[in-house]
Amino acid sequence: MSNSGTPMPKATFRECDFHTHTELCGEGQAKGFTIRKLFETADELGLRYVGYSEHWHKSTPRDLFLRIRDEVEKLQPQFRVKVWVSAEIDVLNSRGDMACDPDDAASILDYVSVAISHYGHGDIKPLRPDLVEDTVEMVRAVCRVPAVTMLMHPQIVYGQCMKFIDRVVTPDIYDECMREIVTHNKVVDFASVRMSMDYLHDLKFGPDKVAIAEQSFENYAAALVRHQVRLAPGTDAHHVFYHDTGRRWFGNNDSSLPLLTSHGYTDAQLWYGQDLRSPQKA
């Protein structure tokens, strides 16, 4: 990468979305949400920085991300928003093995993001009995990979994972994760609280599981602030709107900010690519 030498304008939490997908993910809810539409919507909403992070499974061709980069670089001069090209790379087990070579991914992407707690995908190794311990080990292993910049939704209580969790994740467990993240200078994608809870309802989890997730998420947010982890807001948006409900999804981090600020968060913790160079790849 070449350094442009131009200081990046500061941003606020609501002006960023670092976990986004388009129709290239192949999921039904993303149909019609093109890369151009991502740019257009980001400008309409006044977003300043977006991380475009398409899924990278073991079966995903490397060329997909070359095509994505070409399209983003072609569109970028036409829009105000700055779009960074990343990928949501599957971590396959608690050893930190990934769906691709992280160093090779770093040669294509502006920064490398890895998906923590994606236990529902077919490539992922079956869990050991204690998912919480498994996930903490995964965080520890991934943090020690130099090419990795961002950990996506490492809050442990996420989606399908709730099948295996029957107790609140306690602050000491999150403290262990945060110490590892800070030691290795990684960034955390703070998943939208609203998205996370809506997803649990979509998966038909009952009130007991939702209560466990809510309290765990509270402990997670408190630990992030307590350890001053660098945060990048992310909605996991696959379209502008959430399914067919009419609720805006893309760029909607409003539900996350009050939770974080209740624990003392300020935008001094916000990461928006300040330590990245120009996106033009060598």
Counted domains in the chain: 1
Predicted local distance difference test score (pLDDT) of residue 8:
85
Predicted local distance difference test score (pLDDT) of residue 62:
96
Cα–Cα distance for residue pair 94/259, rounded to 1 Å:
29
User: Running DSSP on this structure, what letter comes out for residue 84?
Assistant: E
Predicted local distance difference test score (pLDDT) of residue 278:
47
Task: Look at residue 183 and tell me if it is in a domain.
Answer: yes
Predicted local distance difference test score (pLDDT) of residue 124:
64
Tens of pLDDT along 151-186?
Answer: 998 988 888 888 888 899 999 999 999 999 999 999
Burial-class residue 19 by CB neighbours within 10 Å (0-12, 13-18, 19+).
Answer: buried
CB 71 within 8 A of CB 35: yes
Task: Look at residue 216 and tell me if it is in a domain.
Answer: yes
Task: Look at residue 64 and tell me if it is in a domain.
Answer: yes
Task: Look at residue 131 and tell me if it is in a domain.
Answer: yes
Low-confidence ranges of the chain (pLDDT < 50): 1-3, 278-282
Predicted local distance difference test score (pLDDT) of residue 121:
60
Task: Look at residue 169 and tell me if it is in a domain.
Answer: yes
Print the domain residue range for 70.
Answer: 13-269
Task: Look at residue 276 and tell me if it is in a domain.
Answer: no
Task: Look at residue 3 and tell me if it is in a domain.
Answer: no
CATH number (domain holding residue 145): 3.20.20.140
Task: Look at residue 281 and tell me if it is in a domain.
Answer: no
Cα–Cα distance for residue pair 248/255, rounded to 1 Å:
12
